[in-house]
Structure 1
Amino acid sequence: MSNFWNQLMIRASSPLARRQVKRRATSNPAILTHTRCFNPTEAHRPTIVHKRSLDILHDPWFNKGTAFTMTERDRLDLRGLLPPNVVSEEQQIDRFMVDLKRLEEHTRDGPYDPNALAKWRILNRLHDRNETMYYKVLIDNIAEYAPIVYTPTVGLVCQNYSGLFRRPRGMYFSAADRGEMISMVYNWPAEQVDMIVVTDGSRILGLGDLGVQGIGIAIGKLDLYVAAAGINPQRVLPVMIDVGTNNEKLLKDPWYLGLQQHRLDGDEYVEIIDEFMEAVFTRWPHVIVQFEDFQSKWANKLLKRYRKTYRMFNDDVQGTAGVAIAGLLGAVRARGRPMIDFPKQKIVVAGAGSAGIGVLNTARKTMARMLGKHENALESARSQFWVVDAKGLITEERQNVDPDALPFARKVNEINHQGLREGSSLVEVVRKVKPDVLLGLSAVGGLFSKEVLEAVRESTSSRPAIFAMSNPTKNAECTAEEAFTIAGDNIIFSSGSPFNDVDLGNGKIGHCNQGNNMYLFPGVGLGTLLSGAKIISDGMLQAAAECLAAYMSEEEVLKGKIYPTIASIRDITKQVAAAVVKEAIDEDLAEGYREVHADELKKLNKDEIIEYVENNMWYPDYPTLVFKED
C-alpha cells in the first residue's frame, strides 16, 4: 500500500479499524495514491479538508452541491458560489430521479433539434470534465453546437435548470447577501476576470421570469465569448442576481433552487444591483460587465445609471440594436442601393420592450448621422418609424406611454391622412404604411399572421424585408417558410433563432438569415478589453454594427444573404473587435491593454489592429503542466 494508507493504518485505533482501512485501500487501486485525509473510525466527526471555495465544489469526493448548509458555505468560502436555497440530500436524489425518468420518457425534447437537450447534457458533462477539449469541440463545430449552448436550446435549459443542475458554474448574489457582496466577490478564485455576464432572470429570452434558473443564459453567452472572441475561459464569470421571482410556478416548486419570494422592486432592487457593481469593480477594476435579459422596466434604467461610470453594456438593448442595424443596412444593400440610403426606409416595428426601444434609438441615431449635422436630423429620422405594441400603434394620444417609447409616438396630424389612429392594429399599419421593413421584437410567436404577411407583399418596396427577431424559436413572429410562401419569393428574411433555408423551386433558395446577437457582442467585449476603453460608447457600438453590415460581399447580399454564416464567427468577431478598438482610439477612450499602452495603440494602422486582436485571442491548446508543492 502507499505511504498515505500506511499512515492511516498506524492511526487506526483498533484491529477492526485497521481491517477497514486495508479493505478500502486494496478494493480500489485508484485510491492508493489519493492524498486526502480519511479516517474510517471517525466518520461521525467533521472531515478535515485542505481546500475551499471552487476547489471544494469541483472535487467530486467532497462536493455536496446545493446541500451545503449556510454555516458550511461561510466556513468554506462558498457563499455566493451556489444558488441560495439549501436543499436536502433527499431532495437532491428526488430531483435527479425525476430528471432521469423524464429522460427515459422523452427523447424529442428540443425546440429546433429533437435531441437538443440531450446534446446539451453531453456537452455540459464534457465541460465539467475537460474544459480545453470542450472549447475545442465548440470552436471546431460552432455552427452545429452554437444552437445547443446558446439560442434556442439555452431557453429550454433555463426552463429546466433546477432539474439539470449538477455542478455549480458562476456566482450567485442574492437579496439575502445584502451587505456581504464586497467580501463574497473574493470567494471567486480568479485573480483577474475580464468578462462578466449578469442576469436577474426576470426576462429570459421571450420566456419571461425564470428566476435563478436564468443563470443558464449567462453561462451560454460566456461560452460564446470564449469560442467566438477567444476570451480566456479562466477569466470569465457568469453571474445570477437573485432578487426573488414572480413566477408562481417556481414559488411553489419544491425543487426550485432560488429564493422563493416575490421579486424586490424600487429602491431595494437598485441598492442590490448597486452593491453588486461596486463589489465586482472594486476587485476587478478593468472587468467588462454585460447585462443580459433584465426586464424592460429595468434594462434601460440600469444602462443609463451605469454606462458612464463602468465598463458595461446591455446586450438586449445595445447588442440587439447593433445586429438589427447591420441587418437593416444589409437589406438596403440587397436592393442594390448604397447604405447611405438607409434614412429613406419606412420601418414598422412590432414590440416596444427593451430590445425594441434599443433598436429604435440606435436606428434613429444611425439615420441622423447619415443625414448630416443639421438640427432636424433626429426629428427627420424619427418620422421613418411606426411603433406597434400590444395596444396597437403608439401615438401622442396614448395615455401613460413608456417614457422610452415617447420619442417615437406618432403625431396625430402625421397619421390622419394615412387613415391611422391611436391603437391601430399591426395589420392596419402595414397596409397603410407599406413599409420597406417589418421588424419584429415582440416575443409574441406567430404575430406576423397571414394577413400581416399578405400586407407586406403589397409594399411599395422593390424588396421588402421581414425581421422576425424574437427568441427562442417558438416566440419568432413567423417562420422563414411562412414569410417566403405568403409575402413572396423576393423578400429578405431574417430571424433571431435559426431556420432552414426555403426551397422556392426552379433552383431558387429563400435565404434565412439568423440575425443573432452572437455576431456582435463577442466582438464588442473583445474590442473593449483590448483597447482598454474607459466606457463603451455609442460610437464603438455603431462601428461594430457597420463592420458587420459591410462584412458580406456585394454578390452575397444581392442574393439575399445579409448576415454571414455562424461557421465564420471567429473571423467576424476579430473584424468587429478591430473596428471597436479603432473607434475607441479615435474617440480617445483607449487606455491600453496589459503591456500595450494607449500611445502604442494609436500608432497601429487598420491591418496592424486586426493582427493585434488576432494575437490576443485565446485558443484551446493543452498546456504543459508542472507540479509545485505549496
Structure 2
Amino acid sequence: MQRTSGVLRRMLSSLQSRSMDPYSPLEEVRRKGSDIDRYLYLKHLQREREPAFYSLLLHHAEEILPFVYTPTVGEACQRYHRLPLTPVGLHLRATDASFLTTLRAWPHQDVRVVVVTDGERVLGLGDLGAGGMGIVEGKILLYTAAAGLDPRACLPVMLDVGTNNEDLLADPLYKGLRQRRLVGAAYWAVVEKCMTSLKQWQPHTVVQFEDFANHHAFQLLEKYRGSHCCFNDDIQGTACITLAGLLSALRVTHSSLSDQRIMFYGAGEAGTGIGEMIAIALHSMHGLSIEEGRKHCIFLDSKGLVCASRQDLQEHKQPFAHDIPYQKTLLEAVLEFRPTALIGVSTRRGAFSAEVIEALSALNTRPIIFPLSNPTSKAECTFEEAMKSSGNRALFASGSPFPSIRGTDNRELYAAQANNAYIFPAIGLAAVLTRTSHISDDAFLTAAKHLSEMTQIPEAARGLLFPRFSSIQQVSAKLTAKVAQFMVEAGGGAVVPSELVGEKSPDWEAYVASTMYKAPPTSKL
C-alpha cells in the first residue's frame, strides 16, 4: 500500500509540474516575443534545469545557438548588467587576493577548457567591461554543442581589469570593477596571475583567448603560446574558418590559392590573422616563402591602403605594408589591384557598397565576397546586397547568418556562415584528448584544409561552402580526429589516448565520437 501511494504521489507531482509548465522548452523558446527574451529564458533554463537546457542545445543546435550566441549575444553583452540574470561564468577581479582560491572553489573541478576575456573588444561593439561575461558564456557552449565536450569540463572566465566605457562607469547597476582599465605593467601582472593560477589549478587546460583588444591580443598569444596550451580564436580561429571558406570557394572556381589577390577591408587582429594564415597556407601548399605569401594579401584600414609609404602603422600591420601606391578608398583599391576576393573585417555596415561589389564582379566570374564582421548590424553587406550587385554570382560567407534567397532560375542560393564553431571546438577537443603542450598554426591549417573538402562542389556552387550546421557534431568528430592525429604525429608533448595505443591503424574518428557528451532526448524531459 505504501509503495502504491508513493507511485501516486510521484504521478501527482509530475502532473502538477506539467500543469505549471505546459510548454516544452523548445515551444517556450518559440513563443517568446523577442530574441533577447529567448536569451533570458535559455539562461534561466541553463541554471535551473541544466539537463533540459543541454538536451535542447544539442538536439536543436541550429535553432538555439543564435539565441545563446551570435547574433543575440551582442545585445545581451551590451545590456548584461541591466538584464534579470545570474552569470554562469567565473568573475575574476583584478582586486581579488587569490585567483587560485576562487578557481578551487568552482563547483566542477575537472575543467579541461577555459574561455577567457577582459571584455575590451566584444564582437564589433567595443569595450563592454564585465559585460564581456556574456561572450565567454556563449562561446563556451559551443564546445558542448559542436564538439560534445562535457559542459562540466568547460569554464567561462571574465578577467575584470576595469573599463574605459564611460556609460558603464556611470551606471549604478554596473557589476564590474568601477575603475578605468589597468594598463602597462599593472595589466600584465593581472594576466600573469590569471595564467599562472590556471596552470597551478589544472596543469593541462586549454585556454582560449576571446575578444581582447588588438594592442593586447597579439602580445598575449605570443607571450603564452609556448608555455601554455592556448590559442586566440579572434586571430587563429577566424583565420582558419576564413581560409577553409576560401579553399572551398576555389574548388568551385577551379583555381589555385597561389593565383589569388585577396583584399581585406579592416586590418585588426582578425584581418591580419587571416592574412598570416593565408601566407602559411601558401608556404605549406605551394612552397612560397611567408613573405611572398603575405604579398597576396592587400589591406585597407580606416585611413586607406596599408602600404610601405605610411608611417602610422601598428606593429601587426607592418608585415602587410607592401611597396604599392597608396589608395584612399576601397573602390579605388579594387579598381587598381583587381582582387579575386574581398574580405570584410571592419565592423562598418555598408562598406561593401553596390559600386564596390559591381567592380569586383566585373573582374571575376564568381567573385568571392566575405563580409565577416559581427553582429549582423556591423556586416559590410548583406547576402541579398551581394547577390543583387553581383548578378547572383558571388560566392559568399558572412560572420552572422543570413537567410537563403531564390535565384533567377528559382534555385535556392545559400549564404555560408563562416562560423568559428566549425573550428575552435574541434581544435580544443583535439588538444584535450591528446594533452598537447601547445597548439601550432599548422594545427589550424590542417583543420582548414579538411573542412574545405567536406562539401560537394555542386553544393558549394550554390553557396554551401561549409557543411550544414545541423551536422556539426559529425563535422567536429571528423575534424577533431584529423587534428588530433596531426598533433600526435607532430609531437609537441602530445600523447595517444590509451584506447588507441597498440592499434596499427588507430580509428581516431570512432574514438572521438565515443568521448562526446550525450544529452537526454528532449522527449524525456
How does the TM-score come out when normalised to structure 1? 0.76
| SS of match in other structure, 1:405 | helix
- 2:241 aligns to what? 323
Give yes or no for contact 1:519–1:573 (8 Å, CA) kept in 2.
Answer: yes
- Does residue 596 of structure 1 match 2:511? no
Cα deviation, 1:47-82, whole Å, max 9, x if unaligned, reads xxxxxxxxxxxxxxxxxxxxxxxxxxxxxxxxxxxx
| SS of match in other structure, 1:422 | coil
Q: Distance in 1 between matches of 2:252 and 2:188?
A: 44
Question: C-alpha displacement at 1:183, in angstroms?
Answer: 2.4
| SS of match in other structure, 1:592 | coil
- Does residue 364 of structure 1 match 2:267? no
Q: Distance in 2 between matches of 1:542 and 1:437?
A: 19
- 2:79 aligns to what? 160
Q: Distance in 2 between matches of 1:224 and 1:170?
A: 14
- Does residue 618 of structure 1 match 2:517? yes
Cα deviation, 1:183-213, whole Å, max 9, x if unaligned, reads 2221213221111110000011001110001
Question: C-alpha displacement at 1:523, in angstroms?
Answer: 0.5
Cα deviation, 1:280-332, whole Å, max 9, x if unaligned, reads 11010111110100011111110000001101110000000000000010111
Q: Distance in 2 between matches of 1:316 and 1:125?
A: 28
- 2:451 aligns to what? 548
Cα deviation, 1:113-134, whole Å, max 9, x if unaligned, reads 9721111112112111111111
For residues 132-211 of structure 1, the aligned pairs below 5 Å read 132-177=51-96, 179-211=97-129
Give the counterpart letter for 2:339 in structure 1. P
Give yes or no for contact 2:118–2:130 (8 Å, CA) kept in 1.
Answer: yes
- 2:259 aligns to what? 344
Question: C-alpha displacement at 1:548, in angstroms?
Answer: 1.0
Q: Distance in 1 between matches of 2:303 and 2:513?
A: 48
Q: Distance in 1 between matches of 2:517 and 2:302?
A: 44
- Does residue 402 of structure 1 match 2:314? yes
Q: Distance in 1 between matches of 2:502 and 2:227?
A: 24
**Counterparts in 2 of 1:314 and 1:260: CA distance versus 1, 3 Å:** same
For residues 62-77 of structure 1, the aligned pairs below 5 Å read none
| SS of match in other structure, 1:317 | helix
**Counterparts in 2 of 1:292 and 1:301: CA distance versus 1, 3 Å:** same
Give the counterpart letter for 1:617 in structure 2. M
Q: Distance in 2 between matches of 1:456 and 1:287?
A: 44
Q: Distance in 2 between matches of 1:601 and 1:437?
A: 45
Q: Distance in 1 between matches of 2:356 and 2:437?
A: 45
- 1:524 aligns to what? 427
Residue of 411, 433, 438 corresponding to 1:508:
411
- 1:380 aligns to what? 292
Residue of 225, 228, 235 corresponding to 2:153:
235
Q: Distance in 1 between matches of 2:48 and 2:517?
A: 20
Q: Distance in 2 between matches of 1:602 and 1:581?
A: 17
How many residue pairs get matched?
A: 492
**Counterparts in 2 of 1:169 and 1:451: CA distance versus 1, 3 Å:** same
Q: Distance in 2 between matches of 1:364 and 1:114?
A: 46
Question: C-alpha displacement at 1:423, in angstroms?
Answer: 4.5
Cα deviation, 1:204-246, whole Å, max 9, x if unaligned, reads 1001110001111111111111111111111111100111111
Question: C-alpha displacement at 1:603, in angstroms?
Answer: 4.0
**Unaligned stretches of 5+ residues in structure 2:** 1-12, 14-29
Give yes or no for contact 1:348–1:385 (8 Å, CA) kept in 2.
Answer: yes
Q: Distance in 1 between matches of 2:186 and 2:248?
A: 43
Question: C-alpha displacement at 1:488, in angstroms?
Answer: 2.2
Q: Distance in 2 between matches of 1:601 and 1:566?
A: 32
| SS of match in other structure, 2:316 | coil
Give yes or no for contact 1:434–1:458 (8 Å, CA) kept in 2.
Answer: no
Question: C-alpha displacement at 1:564, in angstroms?
Answer: 1.7
| SS of match in other structure, 2:315 | coil
Give the counterpart letter for 1:393 in structure 2. L
- Does residue 605 of structure 1 match 2:523? no
Q: Quick one: percent identity of the two aligned structures? A: 37
Give yes or no for contact 2:77–2:131 (8 Å, CA) kept in 1.
Answer: yes
For residues 32-51 of structure 1, the aligned pairs below 5 Å read none
- Does residue 293 of structure 1 match 2:211? yes
Question: C-alpha displacement at 1:601, in angstroms?
Answer: 4.9
Residue of 232, 237, 242 corresponding to 1:314:
232
Identify which range, 363-372 or 204-213, moves more after superposition: 363-372
Residue of 320, 343, 349 corresponding to 1:439:
343
- Does residue 462 of structure 1 match 2:365? yes
Q: Distance in 1 between matches of 2:395 and 2:198?
A: 43
Q: Distance in 2 between matches of 1:215 and 1:605?
A: 43
Give yes or no for contact 2:276–2:294 (8 Å, CA) kept in 1.
Answer: no
Give the counterpart letter for 2:47 in structure 1. D
Residue of 474, 480, 483 corresponding to 1:580:
483
| SS of match in other structure, 1:240 | strand
- 2:303 aligns to what? 391
Question: C-alpha displacement at 1:174, in angstroms?
Answer: 1.4
| SS of match in other structure, 1:452 | helix
- 1:52 aligns to what? none
- Does residue 260 of structure 1 match 2:178? yes
RMSD: 1.9
- Does residue 335 of structure 1 match 2:335? no
**Unaligned stretches of 5+ residues in structure 1:** 1-29, 31-109, 416-420, 623-630
Give yes or no for contact 2:40–2:85 (8 Å, CA) kept in 1.
Answer: no
- 1:223 aligns to what? 141
Q: Distance in 1 between matches of 2:65 and 2:282?
A: 32
Give yes or no for contact 1:197–1:290 (8 Å, CA) kept in 2.
Answer: yes
| SS of match in other structure, 1:438 | strand
Q: Distance in 2 between matches of 1:297 and 1:400?
A: 15
Give yes or no for contact 2:327–2:333 (8 Å, CA) kept in 1.
Answer: no
Q: Distance in 1 between matches of 2:335 and 2:80?
A: 43
- Highest RCO, 1 vs 2 (Cα 8 Å, sep ≥ 6): 2
Question: C-alpha displacement at 1:485, in angstroms?
Answer: 0.5
Give the counterpart letter for 1:396 in structure 2. A
Q: Distance in 1 between matches of 2:366 and 2:454?
A: 21
- 2:26 aligns to what? none
| SS of match in other structure, 1:304 | helix
Question: C-alpha displacement at 1:510, in angstroms?
Answer: 2.9
Q: Distance in 2 between matches of 1:192 and 1:604?
A: 31
Cα deviation, 1:592-622, whole Å, max 9, x if unaligned, reads 37x628xx4584636x000010011111239
Based on CA coordinates, which of the two structures has the bigger radius of gyration?
Answer: 1
**Counterparts in 2 of 1:458 and 1:126: CA distance versus 1, 3 Å:** same
For residues 557-568 of structure 1, the aligned pairs below 5 Å read 557-568=460-471
Q: Distance in 2 between matches of 1:379 and 1:317?
A: 19
Q: Distance in 1 between matches of 2:33 and 2:376?
A: 13
- 2:5 aligns to what? none
Residue of 316, 323, 331 corresponding to 1:427:
331
- 1:116 aligns to what? 35
- 1:93 aligns to what? none
Q: Distance in 2 between matches of 1:334 and 1:590?
A: 39
Question: C-alpha displacement at 1:458, in angstroms?
Answer: 1.6
How does the TM-score come out when normalised to structure 2? 0.90
Give yes or no for contact 1:585–1:602 (8 Å, CA) kept in 2.
Answer: no
Q: Distance in 1 between matches of 2:487 and 2:504?
A: 13
Q: Distance in 2 between matches of 1:485 and 1:559?
A: 15
Give yes or no for contact 1:351–1:390 (8 Å, CA) kept in 2.
Answer: yes
Question: C-alpha displacement at 1:589, in angstroms?
Answer: 2.8
Give the counterpart letter for 1:507 in structure 2. N
Question: C-alpha displacement at 1:165, in angstroms?
Answer: 4.5
